[in-house]
Amino acid sequence: MDQLDQRACLGEFLRSRRARLRPEDVGLTDYGRRRRVPGLRREELAQLAGVSVAYYTRLEQRDGHNVSAEVLEAIARALRLDGTERAHLMDLARPKARRRRQSRRPQQVRPALRTLMDAMEGVPAYLVGHRQDVIGWNRLGAAVFGDFGALPAAERNLVRLMFLDPATAELYGEWECQACWVVSNLRLYAGQHPDDEQLSALVGELSVKNEEFRRLWAAHTVADKTHGVKLLRHPLVGEMRLSFETLTLPDDPSQALVTFHAEPGSASEDALRLLASWDAQRTAEKAAEKAAGMAAGMAAGMAVERAAEKASEKSAGKKAAGPAAGQAV
């Protein structure tokens, strides 16, 4: 799968939004006729939007060429779309001019931003880029959510970890809600970047390997949740409720810094502080082990040098003694 089919996504999105509405939701009278599919009929939606049934049908059947912004707005109102869904509809129906395909090179993190994350003591944080790839983190972020550095770069993806990593699945106390959110956010990204080959590969892999991902992806839900609360069940410190804030970088909107904090005076704050203390101790122990290893290596090196010097001195002494003995004879 090289890229996502934008026209197919448009039709599927419209059908999914139409299916969630009932006649009474939009002020129409339901005369009790049996409905073959859930939600509004096409003719009912067309009536609400003020367009012909044939025109709306063409939109659902992948023919969205030259559709006007006014018609799309009318359809969005008829479907009761929120702001995020409306923007997604515009992306699908009126895609921007095809851009150059994104480079496969990893996104770069500014050194100053890494320094900022490292300086955020007591605040778990990570940086996400395209497709919800994790491209940067601080120590406490890794202590809370897992050692990103131990994973290959291609596997440092929040959506992939949610569905394919058992430890990540067990970490989230409200896994279903979190799984729905990451897929909805990925759907939103897909509408904006249909030519992203790595996105297509990710969706293909997850669709093959996880049935729940397939179900959520087919629902065509879109969301852009920038703040909220996550319930975590950490294997070391137990349950924590952490509020999060997502801060998009002004100079690179494709990157966002996600920070977490606990309510002051709460049990979650105590658990987070305990985890930070454990992580600091573990880091200190690793540093001490590394220093001890370096010291042992230096000592061994010096011992080898001294042994070599002694051997060289002994060899030189023998050479000096040889001619003198010959002269005495």
pLDDT at 322: 61
Task: Tell me if 96 sits within 8 A of 195, measured CB to CB.
Answer: no
pLDDT at 319: 66
Confidence bin at 320 (pLDDT 50/70/90): low
Tens digits of residue pLDDT in 15-32: 999 999 888 888 777 665
- Report how far apart the first and last C-alpha atoms of the chain are (Å, whole number): 92
Q: Which residue has the higher pLDDT, 159 or 4?
A: 159
Q: Report the distance separating Cα 280 and Cα 139, nearest Å.
A: 9
Q: Please, what's the b/e burial string for 184-209 (b: 16 or more CB within 10 A of its CB; e: otherwise)?
A: bbbbbbbbebbbbebbbebbeebeee
**Separation between Cα atoms, residue 14 and residue 19, nearest integer Å:** 9
3-state secondary structure 156-171: CEHHHHHHHCHHHHHH
- Residue 314's pLDDT band (cuts 50, 70, 90): confident
Read off the pLDDT of residues 50-109 as tens digits, 9 standing for 90 and up: 999 999 998 988 766 678 889 999 999 999 999 999 999 999 987 765 555 555 678 999
Instruction: Specify the pLDDT at position 312.
Output: 77
At residue 39, the pLDDT reads 86
Q: What order do you get walking across the sheet with 134-137 strand by strand?
A: 134-137, 125-128, 252-261, 238-249, 227-234
Read off the pLDDT band of 328 (50, 70, 90): very low
Q: In this predicted model, what pLDDT tens digit does every residue of 250-305 receive, in sequence order?
A: 999 999 999 999 999 999 999 999 999 999 888 777 767 776 677 667 767 777 77
Q: Which residues contact 236 (CB under 8 A, 6 or more apart)?
A: 275, 278
pLDDT above 90 coverage of the chain, percent: 66
Expressed in percent and rounded to 5, the helix, strand and coil fractions of the chain are 60, 10, 30
Q: Is 10 exposed, middle or buried (0-12, 13-18, 19+ CB in 10 A)?
A: buried
Would the pLDDT of 325 be above 70?
no
Long-range interactions of 273-279: CB distance < 8 A, separation 24+: 273/122, 274/237, 275/140, 275/143, 275/144, 275/234, 275/236, 275/237, 276/121, 276/122, 276/140, 276/143, 278/143, 278/236, 278/237, 279/139, 279/140, 279/143
pLDDT at 215: 97
Would strands 227-234 and 134-137 be described as parallel, antiparallel, or unpaired? unpaired
Q: What's the rounded Cα separation, in Å, for the pair 256 and 253?
A: 7
Higher pLDDT, 245 or 322: 245
Q: What is the pLDDT of residues 150-188, one digit of tens each?
A: 999 999 999 999 999 999 999 999 999 999 999 999 999
User: Mean pLDDT lowest for which of 15-24, 130-139, 210-219, 294-303?
Assistant: 294-303
pTM exceeds 0.85 for this model: no
